[in-house]
Amino acid sequence: MADIIQLLPDHVANQIAAGEVVQRPASVVKELLENAIDADATVIKLIIKDAGKTLIQVIDNGKGMSATDARLSFERHATSKIRAAEDLFSLHTKGFRGEALASIAAIAHVELKTKQEKDELGTQITIEGSEVTSQEVVVTPKGSSISVKNLFFNIPARRNFLKSNTVETRHIIDEFHRVALAHPAIAFSMYHNGSEVFHLPVSKSRQRIVNIFGGKTNEKLVPVEEATEVVKISGFVGKPEFSKKSKSEQFFFVNDRFIKSPYLNHAVNAAYEGLLRDGNQPAYFLHLSVDPKSIDINIHPTKTEIKFDDEHTLYAILRSSIKHSLGQFNIAPVLDFEYDGNLDTPYDYKDKGITNPTVEVDRNFNPFVEQKSSGKQITAFRKQTPNNWDSLYVGLESKGTRVESDFSQIEFESEERTGSIFKDDSSVDEVQKTYQLHNKYVISTVKSGMLVIDQHRAHQRILYEGLLKSMTVKEAVSQQLLFPLQLHFSSNEMTILKQLKDDLEATGFVFSKFNSESIDVIGVPVNVPDSEVSIILEQLISDVEQEVPDSHFSATDLLAKSMAKSLAIKTGQSLNNTEQEHLVNSLFACKEPSVSPTNRPTFVTLTVDELDKKFM
């Protein structure tokens, strides 16, 4: 039998490696920004076109590379950070495996311009699909400029799996935020299709957060500082009243590297126990500094997951640090009684000794005699006998017999009874058609048995079809607010709201201002209380971030689903008989009454035969 195992060609191996490192344009942005940081750059510029599908360019003023280093940087496993295996446990830089540039060059057209400060001329290298097409000397400023064009040009299947420009741009912005928040001492700027998206000057950590997420964020932050032998924690957490449904403002940085850790996230949530509304997530921007030898970074291709040696201790320290900060700044609830000034000791008595109280009794006092006091006549309690007392009993007795009282002439006051317009609910003739079980299910009878309806899902379906109709016909009715409602959002959230503005107005929302960081709402859809507006919009933004509509998805449909979920009656809400019947009738008037907008069943049917089997 012939040998069947053979070595893969380099370009095939690079494409396979690229599948691990480069999942989407945001992966390229992350690798290039981290390379610029490792080059000690102080100013980094990111330029993208068509959500990175056409162009991703990173320009920095770092150290640059020599002609030899520039050529070797595109070889697999070529790195300046690692010399021995032990170096993996003392890493202080971002990229160290030497796979990023090689993987990117295997699936795109790459152009690199770089120059060291000591050199007069720089180097320009052009690579297409791992093949170097040209290398020449050019005039270029100090630092490096790398352009990645036509991503996945030689892998059409991977390119077809990319989402819409809106989705891919959001992922790029997320990576940009993670790198910029970890390094406030570096100036960052970002341009998309020729327009400036972010301009972040050198600043402190708090100012960098405000520059990214808006000026209103400053009042939401609570500082956290803790230094122990295991870990040094610094950063900020959000106040509980500003918590949101989404996790868009949750950042962990370990040794200036962004990571994802459900375990540490649980520690933060434990510190907020009892302070958050159901389903809300706290905001946090926490930097953890640990010994590089106590962590393992190289457990995931994207290096966003880290293995800690002592997770339990880290969990306890993080939770207690956040609880201490929340309590220190009077965020956590404390036991406090209302102050009563009557309990204070008067100044006249503060220096007097303690004396036992005495009781004085007037033994000559008689309540049944008249007394004179200070010239006034005081009549004490005494039974007074009238002179004509015999007349009180006239007619009550006759010939030694008692006269029975005749109560037939006595009239009693009573309220006037009036007829009722509505039928009395307690009427015996009325038959109750529906019942509510545990304030969650509505039970209704049918010929074959009974229906058990989930009230929350059923109301979602009713609202969903009504909202879709309003947005399609564009005849939604809105109610004007007495006072405009001003809501503040981050720049990323404002971008999402601007995209959905027309659809929001079709549902009944009316906006007077749409600034870069805030909106003014002067009208809301009918039956939507103004206190729910911010909750609805936050839920909408969260839904859009998790399932952003791409080219084959309707933004109107997503908006209707999100608003229906926010406005539907919740589990635990009590409904009277009229409301129950209206819910049932409205549900079966829908086009698709059997499923909710998220394709979950709204009701189940229990037939008589199925019930009979339960008793067999």
How many CB atoms are closer than 10 A to CB 37? 19
Residue 252 near residue 267, CB atoms below 8 Å: no
Q: Mean pLDDT, to the nearest integer, of 75-89?
A: 60
* Interatomic CA distance for residues 38 and 100, integer angstroms: 13
pLDDT at 157 > cutoff 60: yes
pLDDT at 552 > cutoff 50: no
Q: Mean pLDDT, to the nearest integer, of 483-496?
A: 84
Q: Mean pLDDT, to the nearest integer, of 334-338?
A: 56
pLDDT of residue 243: 86
The packing angle between helices 205-213 and 165-182, to 10°, is 160
pLDDT of residue 563: 81
Q: Higher pLDDT residue, 501 or 59?
A: 59
pLDDT at 147 > cutoff 80: yes
pLDDT digits (tens, 9 = 90+) for 266-300: 999 999 988 888 778 899 999 999 888 877 776 56
pLDDT at 574 > cutoff 50: yes
pLDDT at 171 > cutoff 80: yes
pLDDT above 70 covers what percent of the chain? 77
pLDDT of residue 429: 43
pLDDT of residue 204: 93
Q: Higher pLDDT residue, 362 or 420?
A: 362
* Interatomic CA distance for residues 399 and 377, integer angstroms: 45
If pLDDT is split at 50, 70 and 90, which confidence band does 427 have?
very low
| Angle of CA points 72, 105, 38, to nearest 5° | 60
pLDDT above 90 covers what percent of the chain? 29
What are 199's strand-pairing partners?
189
Q: Mean pLDDT, to the nearest integer, of 316-328?
A: 91
pLDDT at 367 > cutoff 90: no
DSSP 396: T
pLDDT at 112 > cutoff 70: yes
* Chain-centroid distance, C-alpha 89: 36
Q: Which residues of 482-506 are buried (b: 16+ CB within 10 A; e: fewer)?
A: eeebeebbbebbbbbbeebeebbbb
If pLDDT is split at 50, 70 and 90, which confidence band does 199 have?
very high
Q: Give long-range contacts, CB 8 A cutoff, 24+ apart: 463-466.
A: 463/563, 463/564, 463/567, 463/568, 464/560, 464/561, 464/564, 464/596, 464/597, 465/590, 465/591, 465/592
* Interatomic CA distance for residues 263 and 600, integer angstroms: 31
If pLDDT is split at 50, 70 and 90, which confidence band does 459 have?
very high
Query: Which residue bears the tokens 């004509």?
Result: 388
pLDDT of residue 412: 57
Q: Where are the alpha helices (DSSP H) in 329-444?
A: none
Q: Which domains does the chain have, with CATH numbers?
A: 10-200 (3.30.565.10), 205-328 (3.30.230.10), 437-604 (3.30.1370.100)
Q: Mean pLDDT, to the nearest integer, of 209-213?
A: 91
Q: Higher pLDDT residue, 320 or 419?
A: 320
Q: Higher pLDDT residue, 368 or 527?
A: 368
Stretch among 28-42, 468-482, 548-562 having the lowest mean pLDDT:
548-562
pLDDT at 55 > cutoff 90: yes
388 — phi, psi (to 5°)? -105, 55
Q: How many residues in total does the chain contain?
A: 616
* Interatomic CA distance for residues 461 and 469, integer angstroms: 12
If pLDDT is split at 50, 70 and 90, which confidence band does 477 have?
confident
How many CB atoms are closer than 10 A to CB 123? 24
Summary mean pLDDT of the chain = 81
* Interatomic CA distance for residues 423 and 412, integer angstroms: 29
Q: Mean pLDDT, to the nearest integer, of 15-29?
A: 77
Residue 146 near residue 31, CB atoms below 8 Å: no
Task: Classify residue 217 by burial, with Cβ atoms within 10 Å: 0-12, 13-18, 19+.
Answer: buried
pLDDT digits (tens, 9 = 90+) for 591-613: 989 999 888 999 999 888 888 88
Tokens describing residue 54:
């056409």
Smallest CA-to-CA distance from 211 within 242, 176, 172 is with 176
Tokens describing residue 558:
């997503």
pLDDT at 60 > cutoff 90: yes
Residue 26 near residue 43, CB atoms below 8 Å: no
Query: Which residue bears the tokens 């040094």?
Result: 232
Residue 231 near residue 221, CB atoms below 8 Å: no
Stretch among 95-99, 113-117, 157-161, 576-580 having the lowest mean pLDDT:
95-99
Q: Mean pLDDT, to the nearest integer, of 573-584?
A: 89
Q: Give long-range contacts, CB 8 A cutoff, 24+ apart: 585-590.
A: 586/462, 587/453, 587/458, 587/461, 587/462, 590/461, 590/462, 590/465
Going by C-beta distance under 8 Å and a sequence separation of 6 or more, which residues neighbour residue 309? 294, 295
Which of 192-201, 306-315, 410-419, 554-563 holds the top average pLDDT?
A: 192-201
Q: Higher pLDDT residue, 336 or 21?
A: 21
DSSP E strand boundaries for 187-279: 187-192, 195-200, 221-227, 232-238, 250-254, 257-259
pLDDT of residue 603: 92
CA distances from 20 to 27, 99, 176 (A): 10, 10, 20
Tokens describing residue 410:
């006595």
Q: What is the CA radius of gyration of the chain?
A: 39
pLDDT at 197 > cutoff 80: yes
How many CB atoms are closer than 10 A to CB 260? 14
